Copies of this chain bind each other. A is one copy, B any other.
């Protein structure tokens, strides 16, 4: 009995499939803490005229006599908070969520995220390179959409591939505003009539940046509003596993076909510029043990203002200071912290060389290839 309950409440993850049904119900049937990333493109509630689908029918009856905007917002909020709650249950402790929206709904979504315990990491602006103009000239061209990136809770160790994103941006740290074109041309899926298959298909470039930046190969990515499956397609290309949830059969059919025709990039191409933080830690003492530096040898600070002597136990002695290479550097500079590896140099052939070259040498010998 216990066993059966367990199995029923924690079924295997249906990886790389599209599940049919209401996303709240489906999510509640999946095992908790099993998903690394959720990307959600919920209904935008554009008109606020009651055309929303709701989590269950009993709630619909409660408000159908008052179609004023307040009641409509209330219904939308209830829907939002329910799917956000179900989504949060699915997230691993260090998982994260992205939600995209426009001014019609994003403020309500953002407030609901915060109220549900998520911790906002950034809001990111998708700045459309080719938006539709405002034909009537009564407002500004609506040229962007807003994405919110949030961790499951404050203090969680979310995934952020800083160096990879920096590489994508030609060596400059990625900003919170992304310029990307709309989904058009042959990327835009058509139905049998040649009309667009989905009204708000997102460009693959957007998902590429999201997934490269906040997941690793092998991660599980869930999209509760799967639509034509852009999230799944990019996840598959990038070697991530996906789970899609979609109510509408017509969208599911388009997505199934799309995913069947999608191929993963080769493994080597999925490797991404690694952060220095990932490199193994080398104790400074190893330099002495290996004879790269000798006890009594003098080190010079990068700015030439200080020097210190190496001791046999891998500590330094400067003017009235003893301690690690970092501690002595920080003390001499009066700074809160100091990276001793890049701060201290030795003299070789009259030239100053940072001691970090020894660390790089050791790492290379360990078979760790720098990027």
In chain A, positions 96-149 with a C-beta closer than 8 Å to chain B are: 102-104, 106-111, 113-115, 120-125, 127, 129-131, 133-134, 137-144, 146, 148-149
Q: How large is the interface on A (under 10, 10 to 19, 20 to 34, 35 or more residues)?
A: 35 or more
Asked if A315 lies at the interface with its beta carbon under 8 angstroms from chain B, I say yes
Chain B residues lying within 8 Å of A170, measured Cβ to Cβ, are: 281, 283-285, 314, 324
How far is it, in angstroms, between the C-alpha of A212 and the C-alpha of B314 when the chains are bound? Answer: 11
CB distance from A274 to the nearest CB of B (A): 10
Q: Say which residue of B131, B137, B162 sits within 8 Å of A137 (CB atoms).
A: B162
Q: Say which residue of B114, B125, B165, B268 sits within 8 Å of A313 (CB atoms).
A: B165
How far is it, in angstroms, between the C-alpha of A322 and the C-alpha of B272 when the chains are bound? Answer: 10
How far is it, in angstroms, between the C-alpha of A137 and the C-alpha of B213 when the chains are bound? Answer: 12
Q: Do the beta carbons of A125 and B125 come within 8 Å of each other?
A: yes
Chain B residues lying within 8 Å of A140, measured Cβ to Cβ, are: 122, 124, 149, 165, 173-176
Asked if A365 lies at the interface with its beta carbon under 8 angstroms from chain B, I say yes
Chain B residues lying within 8 Å of A268, measured Cβ to Cβ, are: 296, 309, 311, 317
Among A141, A289, A312, max chain B CB count under 10 A is at A312
Also in contact, A273 and B111, with CB within 8 A (given A53-B337, A296-B265): no
Chain B residues lying within 8 Å of A288, measured Cβ to Cβ, are: 168, 208
Q: Do the beta carbons of B296 and A130 come within 8 Å of each other?
A: no
Q: Say which residue of B143, B291, B336 sits within 8 Å of A53 (CB atoms).
A: B336
Asked if A295 lies at the interface with its beta carbon under 8 angstroms from chain B, I say yes
Q: Do the beta carbons of B295 and A204 come within 8 Å of each other?
A: no
Given pairs A108-B110, A204-B291, 10 additional interface contacts (CB within 8 A): A51-B336, A53-B336, A53-B337, A73-B114, A137-B173, A140-B165, A142-B176, A167-B324, A168-B288, A269-B309
Which A residues have a C-beta under 8 Å from some C-beta of B?
51, 53, 57, 69-70, 73, 102-104, 106-111, 113-115, 120-125, 127, 129-131, 133-134, 137-144, 146, 148-149, 154, 160-165, 167-177, 179-181, 187, 204-205, 208-209, 212, 237-238, 265-266, 268-273, 275, 281, 283-286, 288-291, 294-296, 309-315, 317, 322-324, 333, 335-338, 365-366, 371
Please name 8 pairs of A and B residues whose Cβ atoms are closer than 8 Å in the assembled complex, sorted by A.
Answer: A69-B114, A70-B115, A107-B114, A108-B114, A141-B173, A167-B315, A170-B324, A181-B365
